[in-house]
Amino acid sequence: MSRSTLILGTRGSKLAVHQSQWVQARLQELAPGLTISLKRIQTSGDKILDVPLAKIGGKGLFVKEIEDALLSGEIDLAVHSMKDVPTALPEGLEILCVPPREDARDALITRDGCGLDQLKPGARIGTSSLRRQAQLLHHRPDFVIEMLRGNLDTRLRKLREGQFDAIVLAAAGLRRLEWDAEISEYLPVHLSLPAIAQGALGIEARSNDSVVRDVLTRFEHRPTRMTVTAERALLHRLEGGCQVPIAAHAVLDGETLTLDGLVATVDGRRVIRHQIQGPAVDAQQLGTILAERLLADGADVILKDIYGRAS
């Protein structure tokens, strides 16, 4: 059955809407006969802003209500930041399209524009990420890491108000909103390995929706799909969520995929990191193998300890 109108669901934050409007415009170019309208949906993760994600259920809180709307037929497709998407999807739903990835790195924003190593001893750094916390403390144990949640504009305002000396955000969001002039320093991946799928978007829809599948196939970016697949396979094997400092970043060079993976203690005192390389077509397997290596090297002890304290 042909349809002339599709409804695209999105979180209501400025960044989420901007990302969805970008996808909407690209899809309209690819399928000019279709009308694609946006529907804003508030998620649990957007409502609870005063508690760390690790304590309220993790990343799935940013997608559950949107996935419910997909399953009920209220919307036809949804745009997510892939780092918010759990590795297991509800039955009947699928990430049908992964568009080209933005910059995957973390970005440091300081009050006076200085770089990370110019920050004063005991500098207060705001972040909501245990992954960032662990790596920052591993690099500079003198830092004081404090919780920072909220939309990008809220986080930037808190920095300007003097609540922090610096904050760390995903570079991708700042670049998409054309706020990259705010960035004091892009943190290199050897110092701050990114979150799984950071900088990538995923377009989710019903598996049996052939109309949406046909449109999205034209927007698929295979290199991003391969790198994200490897990173998510590692996360899936580690059974990781927001409450664990896990990081991974894959790079594709021709048909060769290189994947870096990391598990750390929350205080940054112990960091286990390994790298694997292989054919891009084996992305899923490479992620799983690297996770096994991390576990064998002691990540299993770190994870058991963190999950034991969280339960």
Strand partners, 202: 80
Of 62, 153, 159, 68, the closest CA to residue 109 belongs to 159
Q: Which residues pair with 250 in a beta bridge?
A: 259
Going by the DSSP 8-state scheme, the letter that residue 153 receives in this structure is H
Burial of 106 (0-12, 13-18, 19+ CB in 10 A): buried
3-state percent helix, strand, coil for the chain, nearest multiple of 5: 40, 25, 35
Beta bridge partners of 201: 81
Among 50, 68, 76, 84, the active-site one is 84
Catalytic, 282? Answer: no
What is the DSSP-derived secondary structure letter of residue 193? P
272: helix, strand or coil: strand
CA distance 217 to 188: 33
Indicate which residues carry an active-site annotation.
Answer: 84
